[in-house]
Amino acid sequence: MRATAAEETQSGGLVLLCLASWLIPGAGHLWLGRRAKGLIFLVTLPLMFAIGLALQGRLAPIELTDPLLALAALADRGIGATYFVARALGYGSGDVRAVTYEYGNTFLIVAGLLNLLVVIDAYDVALGRK
């Protein structure tokens, strides 16, 4: 069964919505007119990520030989463009000797995972499930 042109357009719009929501936390909700939620996500998620960096957290490299490290790396990248900006500016090397190192890692991972949940929420809102 072939999809109609309207369904393909909607599908393409959903992909763009999800991509925008991933790249910029809260952008999907702002796009859908949910300003309060969008602004909260736009401020709090990058702030959590910045706190993780300030606490000497490490942006995990993708190493397939260590599955937990690979999952942490995927979670870090869940924050979208914020991750790539931080990496380009040289942040996220971490300092294992810092007392706050593990807290920083936790903030980085949780910020990325929460942003992925925000993407799913924007998708559900766009489909009318919420």
Instruction: Name the pTM for this structure.
Output: 0.89
Mean local confidence (pLDDT), 94-100: 96
Residue that has been written with the tokens 């957290």 in this structure: 57
Residue 127 has pLDDT above 60, yes or no: yes
| Phi, psi dihedral angles at 128 (to 5 degrees) | 85, 15
pLDDT score at 8? 47
Q: Is residue 122 packed enough to be buried (19+ CB in 10 Å), middle (13-18) or exposed (0-12)?
A: buried
**Residues near 43 by beta carbon (within 8 Å), at least 6 away in sequence:** 26
Q: What is the pLDDT of residues 17-66, one digit of tens each?
A: 999 999 999 999 999 999 999 999 999 999 999 999 999 999 999 999 99
How is the chain split into domains, by residue range? 5-127
